[in-house]
Amino acid sequence: MENFPLWTAIVTPMNTDGSVDYDSFEQLLKKQEKAGNGVLVLGSTGEGLNLNEEEKREVVEFTKNLKLDVPFMIGVGGFNLPAQVDFIHFCNEIKPDALLLVTPLYAKPGAEGQFEWFSELMAETDIPCMLYNVPSRTGVKMHPSVPARLSKEFDHLMGMKEASGSVEEFKAFRREAPDVKFYSGDDGMTPAFSKEGGVGLVSVASNVWPKATHRYVELCLKGETEGLFPLWKNATDALFKAPNPVPAKVLLGKKNWITNDTVRLPLSLGDISEDVENNLLQADKEIAEWLDGQK
């Protein structure tokens, strides 16, 4: 499981009233299983912070009960330590394959605060944990010393999802913690991060292109990136022309993989213009043609 190269940060489909659409969710999860991709529920792509505690637990239990033939990870995101610990205790009962622990939001802790935060959380579980650096969302960069220090304290640190968008920052983490497994947290950065020692991807794109993204990651890890550009850059750019996961849900709706493309506020379908929609449909067509040529 530690060497699983592709995890899909799965969207949470919703009915028009905002409730979770479990029929669509099951279909999405089974598409990931068929493609051989691990699944991450309750990440930012899954609108994890927009669900209440009861809903989050229902999503986790539903995923567990499907008994997928691929590993599943649970996102643990927020800023209130007692609430995080309580949710981790729930996860301990569920026994997922991994947890994703994100740098706390809004508070902008320094290196010591970050280290102590992750230490407190990891001390509450023996489930393999992946750290998550995403400064565009949390408002603070993870300090490069943090994963290195944690790796010396906790045997169940399985790796880190690095979404700084910077090759130089990725290399800085690798220098500080050469024994930690680093995953790209940006679909478009996967070729560059793989070249610098990355071992895989936690993906948004694999929601809409599960088999194609699996192949894309395989090629990146082999260093066989000729022919991937500009196709994959244009495709992944199209998925982030509006706040994630709005474009992914719109395209999933167009593909009839989910019944509705509903998102919860503060996300809004009003942020999708006709041009963005056309870019998504064109990217979908081009990725399908590319995958067909890979067979």
The lowest-confidence range among 71-75, 138-142, 214-218, 254-258 is 138-142
Residue 138 has what pLDDT? Answer: 84
SS3 assignment for the chain: CCCCCEEEECCCCECCCCCECHHHHHHHHHHHHHHCCEEEECCCCCCHHHCCHHHHHHHHHHHHHCCCCCCEEEEECCCCHHHHHHHHHHHHHHCCCEEEEECCCCCCCCHHHHHHHHHHHHCCCCCCEEEEECHHHHCCCCCCHHHHHHHHHCCCEEEEEECCCCHHHHHHHHHHCCCCCEEECCHHHHHHHHHCCCCEEEECHHHCCHHHHHHHHHHHHHCCCCCCCCHHHHHHHHCCCCCCCHHHHHHHHHCCCCCCCCCCCCCCHHHCCHHHHHHHHHHHHHHHHHHHHHC
75-82 mean pLDDT: 91
Residue 71 has what pLDDT? Answer: 97
The residue among 137 and 270 whose pLDDT is bigger is: 270
Write out pLDDT tens, residues 187-208: 999 999 999 999 999 999 999 9
Q: Does position 183 have pLDDT exceeding 90, yes or no? A: yes
Q: Percentage of the chain surpassing pLDDT 70? A: 99
Mean pLDDT score of the chain: 95
71-97 mean pLDDT: 95
Q: Does position 3 have pLDDT exceeding 70, yes or no? A: no
Residues catalogued as catalytic: 132, 161
Residue 84 has what pLDDT? Answer: 95
What are the residue ranges spanned by the domains of the chain?
A: 6-225
271-288 mean pLDDT: 96
Write out pLDDT tens, residues 105-157: 889 999 999 999 999 999 999 999 999 998 888 888 999 999 999 999 999 99
**CATH node for 6-225:** 3.20.20.70
Residue 9 has what pLDDT? Answer: 98
Residue 98 has what pLDDT? Answer: 98
